[in-house]
Amino acid sequence: MGRVAIVGVGHSKFGRRTDVNVAELAFESIKGAVEDAGIDKKEIKNVVVGSAGGWYEESLPAVIVNEYAGLDSVGTMRVEAACASGSAALKAACNSIASGEGDIAMAVGVEKMTEVDTMTSVELIGRAGSYTWEFENYGMTFPAYYALYAVAHMNRFGTTEEDMARVAVKAHHYGSMNPNAQFQKEITIEKALGSQVVSWPLKLYDACPLSDGSAAVILASEDVARKLTDTPVWVRGIGYSSDSANLSRRPDYVGLGASVEAARRAYSIAKVEPSSVDVATCHDCFTIAELMAYEDLGFCKKGEGAKMIREGETEIGGRIPVNLDGGLKAKGHPIGATGVSMAVEVTKQLRNEAGSRQAPIKNGIGLVHNVGGTGHYAYVTILSRD
């Protein structure tokens, strides 16, 4: 298998994008990625579109997006791995190059979640478990899924609502420095703790928003990447795994088994240790999810996620800065776009292009952790400068 590098990245503004339709929204990041890579778009032979879909009017987003951007007769597909659809798109695009199918491919993540009313969006995400056994009679919601984890984690390890609020405060702090973030305002612990309960003990400020947004990365084979850029960011390894749709079949509710397994595979393929990661994006769809991610990814021991946030170990200057783009919490979480957006952020960090929210890069290694559903899917992608 050949080596593959990210040679171009593009990112739309995330938020409530009532000014654009899905194709126009995807165009923003595709154009950015093509310009960043310095290629002619006709050189792209394969486009993989990550989008969960259902909340916007188009049923076949891949062809809609390609047509609008003038990507004629490309090989294409839409992939779905719930909130990890973007990482799945990246993996599929990456594989096409590694297998020798072509030299340049693109992964585009796009979602428009606000064209339907909020309660319908809540419903569409809530149905994303085991429909018959969890939704039909019980009306599960996405916050409810993570609240079940939060209560178990609090009960077992003494994690508190304040600890979760600290994650939100950090996210908003870095989000305020990211012009593409949905929320660009700092918040306080008091404000987070005083916000409306969504699914107890999770409150509004524990939850990522409903978002519209897109992100794109252009990938190239080793030879082509070296010709195109002096700063290729290599895809060193992608680990992925899954877990039961039905939550009641899981052994416990204090971590995501799929994340643990995806991370183990990614570290093994990339031959790196958690301790050599300079910067990471973790899937913080809810604040508790970020704390569990620290543990599941091996940044700390099981049960010590709260200690990491309390001690500032995941801020700039800490051991492993996490979500310096504001995370899903403040940057926004347009489901299909998120995994690609994370890869864009880590690429910029590894290129030292993140400006005021730049992490110190020592080993040249970054990590993208992207969860689909409540750990139904998990992807861990390790990127590196060398």
Q: For the chain, what's the residue count? A: 386
Q: Does 295 bind another protein (CB under 8 A)?
A: no
Question: Rule CB under 8 A: is residue 147 a binding residue for another protein?
Answer: yes
Question: Looking at beta carbons only, is 162 or 222 nearer to another protein?
Answer: 162
3-state secondary structure of 143: helix
Of the candidate spans 131-139, 228-236, 322-330, 337-345, the one that interacts with another protein by CB under 8 A turns out to be 131-139
Cβ atoms of residues 256 and 374 within 8 Å:
yes
User: Is 300 a known active-site residue?
Assistant: no
Binding residues among 238-277 for another protein as defined by CB under 8 A: 246-249, 253
When binding is defined by CB under 8 A, the residue of 35, 57, 311, 353 that contacts another protein is: 57
Q: Which of 103, 111, 134, 212 touches another protein (CB under 8 A)?
A: 134
**Which of 35, 42, 67, 120 lies at the binding interface for another protein (CB under 8 A)?**
120
Number of residues interacting with another protein: please give it, by CB under 8 A: 44
Tell me if 250 sits within 8 A of 244, measured CB to CB.
Answer: yes
Residue 319: CB minimum distance to another protein, A: 30
Q: Is 298 in the site for another protein (CB under 8 A)?
A: no
Alpha carbon distance 20, 213 (integer Å) = 10
In sequence order, what are the beta bridge partners of 381?
238, 368
Query: What's the number of CA atoms in the CB half-sphere (13 Å) around residue 291?
Result: 33
Which residue bears the tokens 């792209």? 44
The reply to whether 4 sits near another protein by the rule CB under 8 A is no
Instruction: State how far the Cα of 248 lies from the Cα of 246, in Å rounded to an integer.
Output: 6
Under rule CB under 8 A, residue 16 binds another protein: yes
Q: Name the minimum Å distance from CB 146 to another protein.
A: 9
Name the one range near another protein by CB under 8 A: 2-10, 15-23, 287-295, 367-375: 15-23
Closer residue to another protein (CB): 127 or 319:
127
Determine how many CB atoms are found less than 10 A away from the CB of residue 1. 9
Answer yes or no: are the C-beta atoms of 273 and 264 closer than 8 Å.
no
Closest CA to 280 of 344, 333, 346, 327: 346
The alpha carbon dihedral of 343, 144, 289, 250 has a sign of negative
Euclidean distance between CA atoms 374 and 386, whole angstroms = 33
Active-site entry in 153, 172, 333, 376: 333
Closest by CA position to 167, among listed 254, 293, 261: 293
Q: Between 148 and 322, name the residue whose CB sits nearer to another protein.
A: 148
Closest-CA residue to 218 (of 17, 74, 4, 7):
7
Q: Contact 234/381 with Cβ under 8 angstroms?
A: no
Q: Is 73 in the site for another protein (CB under 8 A)?
A: no
Catalytic residue among 83, 94, 285, 300: 83
Among 132, 317, 362, 386, binds another protein (CB under 8 A): 132
Q: Minimum CB separation from another protein for residue 292, in Å?
A: 13
Question: Site residues for another protein, window 191-230 (CB under 8 A)?
Answer: 196-202
For the annotated catalytic residues, the residue numbers are: 83, 333
Contact residues toward another protein (CB under 8 A) are 16, 18-19, 57, 117, 119-120, 122-123, 126-127, 130-141, 143-144, 147-152, 155, 196-202, 246-249, 253
